[in-house]
Amino acid sequence: MAATSAPSPFARATLALSVALSRLSSRERTAVTIAAWVIGLGLLWWIAVAPALDTLRQAPTRHARLDAQLGQMQRLAATADVLRSQSNAQPPGRDETLRALDTATAGLGGTGQLSVLGERATVTLRNTPPQALAQWLAQVRINARLLPLDSQLQHEAGSTGWSGTVVLGGPGLGSAP
Q: Which residues of 63-84 are buried (b: 16+ CB within 10 A; e: fewer)?
A: eeeeeeeeeeeeeeeeeeeeee
102 - beta bridge partners?
none
Tens digit of pLDDT for each residue in 150-172? Answer: 999 998 778 888 999 999 998 88
Measure the CA–CA gap between 163 and 46, rounded to whole angstroms.
Answer: 57
Measure the CA–CA gap between 83 and 90, rounded to whole angstroms.
Answer: 12
CATH architecture of the domain 94-173 equals 2-Layer Sandwich (3.30)
Tens digit of pLDDT for each residue in 125-140? Answer: 999 999 999 999 999 9
Measure the CA–CA gap between 44 and 51, rounded to whole angstroms.
Answer: 11
- Predicted TM-score (pTM) of the model is 0.52
Where along the chain do its domains lie? 11-86, 94-173
